[in-house]
A and B are shown apart, each in its own frame.
Chain A
Amino acid sequence: MSIRFEKVNYIYQQATPFEHQALYDITLTIPTGSYTAIVGHTGSGKSTLLQHLNGLLKPVSGRIIIGDQEITSLTKNKELGTLRKHVGVVFQFPEAQLFEETVLKDIAFAPKNFGSSEQEALETARQMAKLVDLPEYVFNKSPFELSGGQMRRVAIAGVLAMKPEVLVLDEPTAGLDPKGRIEIMDMFQNLKIQQHLTIILVTHQMDDVARYADNVIVLEKGHLLANNFPEKIFSDSKWLQEHHLALPQATRFAKELQKRADSFNFSKVPLTEEELAIQLIQRINEVKQNDE
């Protein structure tokens, strides 16, 4: 499902003294099957944009086209049911949404809401629990007895159980330890490949953007600053600095190396540790050959 925003504006608490415009004339396209990262500072409008993706918020003006559905300020809530099934959203700290008596029942909640029978829903829940690597012995435990990382997995499984075509992730690894972070991000990557999902990731972790995304959207104070490939975004470190955005670690290392050794040139700016390592080895080999 491709997603298109056309001149979308959003204003919180319109016509009150608390009025506050969060999005200004946003026009962008998120292609089907892409892994799109949305970056920007706190208050840049990321979360507002995200809530437009499944109709939790409707634009004040402009329109959004998701698949074959159009959302404008006039769209009725009833028309959004199918959209919510196709676009799954994992909110920040999603473990706050857990409420059922057992893990499986909680995962089965969404499919039941979208019309599956109790049996089907529980079967789906079982599959999803396995998909997110939950051990079998927790299936019938209360979700409140689990560890933080496991609760996160239950909540994610609860969204995956709707079998969405688009998966929206709002800082899915916030508050997790490094191991949990890598595991969860790799899990999303695998899901994307297996189920041909379109993934939209809101994050502050530039390393994750560099490693996984193939499309980056940069927001600043509600305006769209850039919508480009990660290589393009991270190649202009001056521009990034102007907008107070960080570089991925590998890229930062490469920049630092270049600054200290003028002769050192990278053919292509490395974004991940792997790319950096490969380029360094190439250079070392070149130098060795020259010496011989």
Chain B
Amino acid sequence: MNKIILGRYIPGKSFLHRLDPRSKLVLSFLFILIIFFANNWRTYILLGIFTFFCILLSKISLGFFLKGVRPLIWLILFTVVLQIFFTRGGPTYWQFGPLSITHFGLVNGGYVFCRFVLIIFMSTLLTLTTSPLEIADALENLMLPLKKFKVPVYEISLMISIALRFVPTLMDETEKIMNAQRARGVNFGEGGLIKQLKAIVPLLIPLFVGAFNRAEDLATAMEARGYRGGEGRTKYRFHAWHKNDTLSCIIFGLLAAILLFLRSW
């Protein structure tokens, strides 16, 4: 259970930790967007250096980011291999039926790989330096304009924060139930596919029962403390826009400008 690094928060006091979650959220989103504008090796090197710089800034060891890639490595390799085999153009190095390895294919495969790694690094960086509650707060704040269109912003953000809040709890619960069933002779992750699927039933049913019970208790507890919807509720945490946030936006703007320039170079 402890191998999952995506979505994990590591407390700290670095520049990135102290940025406003709203600016972090928007900037990471925009960064992922401009990754798709990169179209040659110069642009990828630029983005790579920028990502590396951000990682240094966060003062979190590189190992965490590499671990973040690990669960997705098969997906990445699969996509890369598809790109390599099915992209046509340029000199052909190898051909077999519809499959061929061409110059363009290899280059595209490389780009796709870089894209994946950059996206994962950046989103890992966001979750490593921003606590789940901050992310939920930021989302609520950013979605506020949608209220005009009758989007239930408070309810959505409450749902997100409750969901995020209960991830570790459910993980603990999963661990406990797995232990209890292991003690009764279940071997998780062993045997054939059917056997593994069957082993999941004794895990999922208690987990669901527990989650429903917990949801009911939580609802009761919230009502007992006078919760009547999010309208007009005040907040404990206030987010204020600081100089550093403006600075980050300017740096990002420069990055995007350089990227667009290198793109057509």
Contacts and interface: CB of A to CB of B under 8 A. Distances in A.
Interface of A: 13, 16-18, 51, 54, 56, 77-78, 81, 84-85, 88-89, 91, 94, 96-99, 109-110, 113-114, 144, 158-159, 162
B177 interface: yes
A158 B179 contact: no
Contacts, number: 58
A81 B187 CA distance: 9
B165 to A, nearest CB: 19
B162 interface: no
The interface residues of chain B, by DSSP majority, are classed as: helix
Contacts of B202: 97, 99, 109
B181 A97 contact: yes
Nearest to A99: B205
B185 A84 contact: yes
B206 A96 contact: yes
A97 B2 contact: no
A127 B180 CA distance: 22
Contacts of A88: 183
Nearest to B10: A17
B182 A97 contact: no
B176 interface: yes
A54 B184 contact: no
A78 B182 CA distance: 12
A56 B179 CA distance: 7
Interface residues of B, number: 21
Given A51-B179, A96-B180, A162-B184, 20 more contacts: A13-B2, A17-B10, A56-B179, A56-B182, A56-B183, A84-B185, A89-B180, A89-B183, A91-B176, A91-B183, A94-B180, A96-B177, A96-B206, A97-B202, A97-B206, A99-B201, A99-B206, A158-B184, A159-B183, A159-B184
B143 to A, nearest CB: 32
B193 interface: no
A109 B180 contact: no
A114 B182 contact: no
Contact of B185 (A81, A91, A144): A81
Most chain A beta carbons < 10 A, residue from B10, B182, B187, B210: B182
20 contacts: A17-B10, A18-B2, A77-B190, A81-B185, A84-B185, A85-B185, A88-B183, A89-B183, A91-B176, A91-B179, A91-B183, A96-B173, A96-B177, A96-B210, A97-B202, A99-B202, A99-B205, A109-B184, A110-B184, A158-B184
Interface in B158-190: 173, 176-177, 179-187, 190
